[in-house]
Amino acid sequence: MFYCRKKVSVCCQRWSFAVPFLLYMILFGVTWMLSFPLKSLPQQIGPIYSQTEIKKLTNHVDAVRLERDGDVNINFHKDVIIGDVKEGPQYEDPKTLLENIFKNADVSGDGLLSLQELSDWINKKIQEHINEALRDNFGLFDAIDNNPKNGVISWEEYHTYFLRQKGFSKEYAENHDKKHRGLNRSIKEAVMRDRASWSEAAHSDPDHLTLDEFLSFRHPESSHATIIALVDELLDKFDRDGDEILTEDEFSVLQTEGDGEKEGETLTQGEDERRKEFRDVIDRNHDGKADRKELLMYNDPKNPRHAHEEAVALLVLSDADHDGSLSLQEILNKMDLFLGSKMVDTAYSFHDEF
Protein backbone atom coordinates (compact mmCIF):
# COMPACT_ATOMS: atom_id res chain seq x y z
CA MET A 1 0.00 0.00 0.00
CA PHE A 2 2.81 2.37 0.97
CA TYR A 3 4.61 1.45 -2.24
CA CYS A 4 1.54 2.35 -4.34
CA ARG A 5 1.13 5.68 -2.60
CA LYS A 6 4.82 6.44 -3.12
CA LYS A 7 4.53 5.52 -6.78
CA VAL A 8 1.48 7.79 -7.23
CA SER A 9 3.33 10.61 -5.44
CA VAL A 10 6.34 10.27 -7.74
CA CYS A 11 4.09 10.26 -10.83
CA CYS A 12 2.29 13.38 -9.66
CA GLN A 13 5.59 15.15 -9.10
CA ARG A 14 6.74 14.21 -12.59
CA TRP A 15 3.52 15.53 -14.14
CA SER A 16 3.75 18.72 -12.08
CA PHE A 17 7.01 19.46 -13.90
CA ALA A 18 6.05 18.03 -17.29
CA VAL A 19 2.74 19.85 -17.80
CA PRO A 20 4.09 23.42 -17.43
CA PHE A 21 7.09 22.49 -19.57
CA LEU A 22 4.85 21.11 -22.35
CA LEU A 23 2.59 24.16 -22.21
CA TYR A 24 5.62 26.44 -22.45
CA MET A 25 6.99 24.55 -25.47
CA ILE A 26 3.60 24.68 -27.23
CA LEU A 27 3.29 28.43 -26.57
CA PHE A 28 6.84 28.99 -27.83
CA GLY A 29 6.18 26.97 -30.99
CA VAL A 30 2.96 28.82 -31.80
CA THR A 31 4.62 32.21 -31.24
CA TRP A 32 7.57 31.26 -33.47
CA MET A 33 5.32 30.05 -36.30
CA LEU A 34 3.17 33.16 -36.22
CA SER A 35 6.22 35.37 -36.54
CA PHE A 36 6.83 34.01 -40.08
CA PRO A 37 4.10 34.55 -42.68
CA LEU A 38 3.27 31.44 -44.65
CA LYS A 39 4.09 31.95 -48.32
CA SER A 40 1.38 29.53 -49.33
CA LEU A 41 -1.29 31.76 -47.84
CA PRO A 42 -2.50 35.00 -49.40
CA GLN A 43 -1.32 38.13 -47.63
CA GLN A 44 -4.70 39.77 -47.74
CA ILE A 45 -8.24 38.65 -48.35
CA GLY A 46 -9.53 39.58 -51.76
CA PRO A 47 -12.87 39.41 -53.51
CA ILE A 48 -14.67 36.07 -53.45
CA TYR A 49 -16.42 34.86 -56.58
CA SER A 50 -19.06 32.20 -56.83
CA GLN A 51 -18.70 29.07 -58.95
CA THR A 52 -21.47 30.47 -61.17
CA GLU A 53 -19.40 33.57 -61.89
CA ILE A 54 -16.32 31.51 -62.70
CA LYS A 55 -18.35 29.25 -65.01
CA LYS A 56 -19.80 32.31 -66.74
CA LEU A 57 -16.30 33.64 -67.22
CA THR A 58 -15.05 30.47 -68.92
CA ASN A 59 -18.14 30.21 -71.16
CA HIS A 60 -17.95 33.82 -72.37
CA VAL A 61 -14.27 34.01 -73.26
CA ASP A 62 -13.77 34.43 -77.00
CA ALA A 63 -10.30 32.92 -77.00
CA VAL A 64 -8.25 30.79 -74.68
CA ARG A 65 -4.85 32.11 -73.72
CA LEU A 66 -1.76 29.94 -73.41
CA GLU A 67 0.12 29.38 -70.21
CA ARG A 68 3.83 30.21 -70.04
CA ASP A 69 4.73 26.56 -70.73
CA GLY A 70 2.60 26.41 -73.86
CA ASP A 71 -0.52 24.77 -72.47
CA VAL A 72 -3.86 26.35 -73.20
CA ASN A 73 -5.17 27.64 -69.92
CA ILE A 74 -8.94 27.77 -69.84
CA ASN A 75 -8.74 29.39 -66.40
CA PHE A 76 -6.46 32.17 -67.63
CA HIS A 77 -8.74 35.01 -66.61
CA LYS A 78 -9.33 33.50 -63.18
CA ASP A 79 -5.59 32.92 -62.71
CA VAL A 80 -4.43 36.35 -63.86
CA ILE A 81 -7.22 38.67 -62.77
CA ILE A 82 -8.36 36.89 -59.62
CA GLY A 83 -5.32 34.69 -59.06
CA ASP A 84 -3.68 33.99 -55.75
CA VAL A 85 -4.52 37.24 -54.06
CA LYS A 86 -1.36 39.09 -53.10
CA GLU A 87 -0.71 42.34 -51.36
CA GLY A 88 -1.04 44.90 -54.11
CA PRO A 89 -0.70 48.66 -54.38
CA GLN A 90 -2.60 50.71 -51.83
CA TYR A 91 -4.57 53.80 -52.84
CA GLU A 92 -5.53 56.65 -50.54
CA ASP A 93 -8.88 57.16 -52.23
CA PRO A 94 -9.66 54.16 -54.49
CA LYS A 95 -13.29 55.22 -54.99
CA THR A 96 -12.33 58.59 -56.48
CA LEU A 97 -9.62 56.91 -58.56
CA LEU A 98 -12.13 54.50 -60.11
CA GLU A 99 -14.63 57.31 -60.67
CA ASN A 100 -12.03 59.32 -62.61
CA ILE A 101 -10.97 56.34 -64.69
CA PHE A 102 -14.59 55.48 -65.43
CA LYS A 103 -15.27 59.03 -66.60
CA ASN A 104 -12.24 59.02 -68.92
CA ALA A 105 -12.97 55.55 -70.31
CA ASP A 106 -16.65 56.34 -70.95
CA VAL A 107 -16.05 57.92 -74.35
CA SER A 108 -19.73 57.97 -75.28
CA GLY A 109 -20.65 59.74 -72.04
CA ASP A 110 -23.71 57.56 -71.48
CA GLY A 111 -22.74 56.54 -67.95
CA LEU A 112 -21.92 52.98 -69.00
CA LEU A 113 -18.74 51.23 -70.12
CA SER A 114 -19.24 48.97 -73.12
CA LEU A 115 -16.93 46.04 -73.81
CA GLN A 116 -15.29 48.07 -76.57
CA GLU A 117 -14.75 51.11 -74.36
CA LEU A 118 -13.27 48.98 -71.59
CA SER A 119 -11.06 47.11 -74.05
CA ASP A 120 -9.86 50.35 -75.68
CA TRP A 121 -8.99 51.87 -72.29
CA ILE A 122 -7.01 48.81 -71.16
CA ASN A 123 -5.22 48.63 -74.51
CA LYS A 124 -4.31 52.31 -74.18
CA LYS A 125 -2.86 51.74 -70.69
CA ILE A 126 -0.86 48.73 -71.92
CA GLN A 127 0.64 50.73 -74.79
CA GLU A 128 1.52 53.59 -72.44
CA HIS A 129 3.16 51.27 -69.92
CA ILE A 130 5.30 49.41 -72.44
CA ASN A 131 6.33 52.57 -74.29
CA GLU A 132 7.29 54.21 -71.00
CA ALA A 133 9.30 51.15 -69.96
CA LEU A 134 11.21 51.18 -73.25
CA ARG A 135 11.78 54.93 -73.05
CA ASP A 136 13.05 54.94 -69.48
CA ASN A 137 15.16 51.78 -69.69
CA PHE A 138 18.18 53.34 -71.41
CA GLY A 139 18.37 56.36 -69.10
CA LEU A 140 18.22 54.24 -65.96
CA PHE A 141 20.70 51.74 -67.39
CA ASP A 142 23.15 54.53 -68.19
CA ALA A 143 22.79 56.02 -64.70
CA ILE A 144 23.42 52.71 -62.90
CA ASP A 145 26.30 51.62 -65.15
CA ASN A 146 29.03 53.70 -63.49
CA ASN A 147 31.47 51.47 -61.60
CA PRO A 148 33.00 51.04 -64.11
CA LYS A 149 31.02 52.44 -67.04
CA ASN A 150 31.46 49.48 -69.39
CA GLY A 151 28.13 48.89 -71.13
CA VAL A 152 26.84 46.27 -68.69
CA ILE A 153 25.37 46.50 -65.19
CA SER A 154 26.83 44.34 -62.46
CA TRP A 155 24.75 43.04 -59.56
CA GLU A 156 26.75 45.25 -57.19
CA GLU A 157 26.02 48.35 -59.29
CA TYR A 158 22.31 47.57 -59.32
CA HIS A 159 22.25 46.61 -55.64
CA THR A 160 23.89 49.89 -54.67
CA TYR A 161 21.24 51.75 -56.68
CA PHE A 162 18.50 49.67 -55.01
CA LEU A 163 19.71 50.52 -51.51
CA ARG A 164 20.01 54.21 -52.34
CA GLN A 165 16.42 54.15 -53.64
CA LYS A 166 15.34 52.64 -50.32
CA GLY A 167 16.79 55.65 -48.49
CA PHE A 168 20.12 54.26 -47.30
CA SER A 169 23.20 56.44 -47.27
CA LYS A 170 25.76 56.29 -50.06
CA GLU A 171 28.34 55.02 -47.55
CA TYR A 172 26.11 52.13 -46.45
CA ALA A 173 25.02 51.31 -50.02
CA GLU A 174 28.63 51.03 -51.18
CA ASN A 175 30.03 49.28 -48.09
CA HIS A 176 27.09 47.35 -46.67
CA ASP A 177 27.11 44.05 -44.83
CA LYS A 178 26.58 41.43 -47.57
CA LYS A 179 24.05 39.58 -45.40
CA HIS A 180 22.23 42.81 -44.53
CA ARG A 181 22.17 42.09 -40.82
CA GLY A 182 19.85 44.48 -39.06
CA LEU A 183 17.68 45.30 -42.08
CA ASN A 184 13.97 44.66 -41.80
CA ARG A 185 12.40 41.56 -43.29
CA SER A 186 10.64 43.30 -46.19
CA ILE A 187 13.93 44.76 -47.51
CA LYS A 188 15.63 41.38 -47.31
CA GLU A 189 12.74 39.71 -49.15
CA ALA A 190 12.86 42.40 -51.85
CA VAL A 191 16.58 41.72 -52.34
CA MET A 192 15.89 37.99 -52.66
CA ARG A 193 13.15 38.59 -55.23
CA ASP A 194 15.43 40.86 -57.23
CA ARG A 195 18.21 38.31 -57.12
CA ALA A 196 15.89 35.59 -58.45
CA SER A 197 14.62 37.85 -61.26
CA TRP A 198 18.21 38.84 -62.05
CA SER A 199 19.17 35.19 -62.48
CA GLU A 200 16.31 34.65 -64.92
CA ALA A 201 17.24 37.69 -67.00
CA ALA A 202 21.04 37.15 -67.08
CA HIS A 203 21.57 34.90 -70.09
CA SER A 204 25.10 35.84 -71.17
CA ASP A 205 26.73 36.43 -67.76
CA PRO A 206 25.18 35.55 -64.37
CA ASP A 207 26.72 38.63 -62.72
CA HIS A 208 26.03 41.24 -65.42
CA LEU A 209 23.06 42.44 -67.48
CA THR A 210 23.08 43.92 -70.95
CA LEU A 211 20.66 46.68 -71.92
CA ASP A 212 17.94 44.31 -73.13
CA GLU A 213 18.52 41.92 -70.23
CA PHE A 214 18.09 44.85 -67.87
CA LEU A 215 14.76 45.60 -69.56
CA SER A 216 13.80 41.96 -69.15
CA PHE A 217 14.81 42.16 -65.48
CA ARG A 218 12.71 45.23 -64.71
CA HIS A 219 9.91 44.85 -67.28
CA PRO A 220 9.88 41.30 -68.68
CA GLU A 221 6.60 41.99 -70.46
CA SER A 222 8.35 44.72 -72.50
CA SER A 223 11.43 42.73 -73.48
CA HIS A 224 11.73 41.25 -76.95
CA ALA A 225 13.88 38.50 -75.45
CA THR A 226 10.99 37.48 -73.20
CA ILE A 227 8.59 37.27 -76.13
CA ILE A 228 11.10 35.19 -78.12
CA ALA A 229 11.47 32.86 -75.12
CA LEU A 230 7.68 32.41 -75.01
CA VAL A 231 7.65 31.55 -78.72
CA ASP A 232 10.46 29.02 -78.18
CA GLU A 233 8.45 27.43 -75.37
CA LEU A 234 5.41 27.24 -77.63
CA LEU A 235 7.33 25.55 -80.43
CA ASP A 236 9.05 23.19 -78.04
CA LYS A 237 5.68 22.14 -76.67
CA PHE A 238 3.66 21.78 -79.87
CA ASP A 239 5.95 21.62 -82.92
CA ARG A 240 6.07 17.84 -83.25
CA ASP A 241 7.88 17.70 -86.61
CA GLY A 242 10.48 20.33 -85.65
CA ASP A 243 9.98 22.63 -88.67
CA GLU A 244 9.43 25.70 -86.44
CA ILE A 245 5.94 26.14 -87.87
CA LEU A 246 2.76 25.28 -86.00
CA THR A 247 -0.14 23.73 -87.83
CA GLU A 248 -3.68 23.84 -86.52
CA ASP A 249 -3.56 20.13 -85.75
CA GLU A 250 -0.26 20.41 -83.86
CA PHE A 251 -1.64 23.20 -81.72
CA SER A 252 -5.08 21.70 -81.18
CA VAL A 253 -4.58 17.94 -80.77
CA LEU A 254 -2.63 17.18 -77.61
CA GLN A 255 -0.90 13.95 -76.69
CA THR A 256 0.34 12.77 -73.34
CA GLU A 257 3.91 11.54 -73.10
CA GLY A 258 4.41 7.81 -73.54
CA ASP A 259 6.27 5.54 -71.14
CA GLY A 260 8.88 4.51 -73.69
CA GLU A 261 7.04 1.34 -74.72
CA LYS A 262 3.88 2.89 -76.13
CA GLU A 263 2.75 6.24 -77.44
CA GLY A 264 0.87 8.67 -75.28
CA GLU A 265 -2.89 9.10 -75.43
CA THR A 266 -4.60 11.73 -77.57
CA LEU A 267 -6.48 14.32 -75.55
CA THR A 268 -9.66 15.69 -77.09
CA GLN A 269 -10.82 17.86 -74.19
CA GLY A 270 -10.60 21.52 -75.16
CA GLU A 271 -9.75 20.77 -78.79
CA ASP A 272 -12.57 22.94 -80.16
CA GLU A 273 -11.39 25.90 -78.07
CA ARG A 274 -7.81 25.40 -79.27
CA ARG A 275 -8.86 25.32 -82.90
CA LYS A 276 -10.87 28.51 -82.44
CA GLU A 277 -7.88 30.16 -80.76
CA PHE A 278 -5.59 29.13 -83.61
CA ARG A 279 -7.93 30.24 -86.42
CA ASP A 280 -9.15 33.49 -84.90
CA VAL A 281 -6.05 34.78 -83.11
CA ILE A 282 -2.82 33.01 -84.04
CA ASP A 283 -3.06 32.26 -87.78
CA ARG A 284 -3.10 35.84 -89.10
CA ASN A 285 -3.06 34.97 -92.83
CA HIS A 286 -5.42 31.99 -92.42
CA ASP A 287 -3.21 29.52 -94.24
CA GLY A 288 -3.55 26.84 -91.55
CA LYS A 289 -0.01 27.43 -90.27
CA ALA A 290 1.69 29.81 -87.86
CA ASP A 291 5.31 30.86 -88.37
CA ARG A 292 7.57 32.63 -85.88
CA LYS A 293 6.37 36.08 -86.93
CA GLU A 294 2.75 35.16 -86.24
CA LEU A 295 3.68 33.58 -82.92
CA LEU A 296 5.65 36.68 -81.93
CA MET A 297 2.62 38.85 -82.69
CA TYR A 298 0.42 36.45 -80.74
CA ASN A 299 2.59 36.68 -77.62
CA ASP A 300 3.33 40.41 -77.87
CA PRO A 301 1.63 42.12 -74.89
CA LYS A 302 0.84 45.09 -77.18
CA ASN A 303 -1.44 42.84 -79.23
CA PRO A 304 -4.97 44.23 -78.65
CA ARG A 305 -6.24 40.71 -77.96
CA HIS A 306 -4.75 40.84 -74.46
CA ALA A 307 -6.76 43.96 -73.62
CA HIS A 308 -9.88 42.40 -75.12
CA GLU A 309 -9.48 39.21 -73.08
CA GLU A 310 -9.10 41.12 -69.84
CA ALA A 311 -12.04 43.38 -70.68
CA VAL A 312 -14.22 40.31 -71.30
CA ALA A 313 -13.18 38.83 -67.96
CA LEU A 314 -13.86 42.04 -66.04
CA LEU A 315 -17.23 42.46 -67.72
CA VAL A 316 -18.37 38.89 -67.05
CA LEU A 317 -17.37 39.04 -63.39
CA SER A 318 -18.92 42.46 -62.74
CA ASP A 319 -21.98 42.81 -64.98
CA ALA A 320 -24.61 42.21 -62.30
CA ASP A 321 -27.62 43.17 -64.42
CA HIS A 322 -26.35 41.28 -67.50
CA ASP A 323 -26.84 44.19 -69.89
CA GLY A 324 -23.45 43.76 -71.54
CA SER A 325 -21.95 46.94 -70.08
CA LEU A 326 -20.69 48.22 -66.74
CA SER A 327 -22.06 51.01 -64.60
CA LEU A 328 -19.87 52.85 -62.11
CA GLN A 329 -21.68 51.13 -59.25
CA GLU A 330 -20.98 47.69 -60.70
CA ILE A 331 -17.29 48.56 -60.85
CA LEU A 332 -17.30 49.89 -57.28
CA ASN A 333 -19.02 46.68 -56.16
CA LYS A 334 -15.96 44.77 -57.42
CA MET A 335 -13.42 47.38 -56.33
CA ASP A 336 -10.61 44.95 -55.46
CA LEU A 337 -10.94 43.21 -58.81
CA PHE A 338 -10.56 46.44 -60.79
CA LEU A 339 -7.81 47.91 -58.62
CA GLY A 340 -5.69 44.86 -59.39
CA SER A 341 -6.39 44.91 -63.12
CA LYS A 342 -4.67 46.63 -66.04
CA MET A 343 -7.55 49.08 -66.14
CA VAL A 344 -6.06 50.80 -63.07
CA ASP A 345 -2.47 49.66 -62.45
CA THR A 346 -1.02 48.18 -65.62
CA ALA A 347 2.53 47.88 -64.27
CA TYR A 348 1.54 45.97 -61.13
CA SER A 349 -0.78 43.66 -63.07
CA PHE A 350 1.91 42.86 -65.64
CA HIS A 351 4.58 42.26 -63.04
CA ASP A 352 2.23 40.01 -61.07
CA GLU A 353 1.82 37.87 -64.21
CA PHE A 354 5.50 37.73 -65.11
Stretches in the chain below the pLDDT threshold 70? 1-90, 255-269, 347-354
Give the pLDDT confidence score for residue 327 in this predicted structure: 97
Residues 81, 85, 87, 90, Cα dihedral to 10°: 50
DSSP H helical segments within 219-303, as ranges?
Answer: 224-238, 248-252, 271-277, 292-299
pLDDT tens per residue across span 128-140: 988 888 889 999 9
The 3-state DSSP class for residue 153 equals strand
Domain assignments of the chain as residue spans, ordered by start: 152-209
Cβ neighbours for 277, distance < 8 A, ≥ 6 positions apart:
63, 64, 72, 251
- CA 264 to CA 242: how far, in whole Å? 18
Give the pLDDT confidence score for residue 254 in this predicted structure: 76
pLDDT tens per residue across span 6-15: 444 444 444 4
Give the CA angle between residues 94, 98, 104 to the nearest 5°. Answer: 145
Average pLDDT, the chain: 76
Give the pLDDT confidence score for residue 4 in this predicted structure: 44
User: Residue 270 in contact with residue 64, Cβ under 8 Å?
Assistant: yes
Q: How far is CA 160 from CA 147, 167, 192, 202, 345, in A?
A: 10, 11, 14, 18, 27
The 3-state DSSP class for residue 195 equals helix
- Cα 74 to the chain's mean position, in Å? 16
Give the pLDDT confidence score for residue 211 in this predicted structure: 93
pLDDT tens per residue across span 40-83: 323 332 333 344 433 433 333 333 344 444 444 434 333 333 33
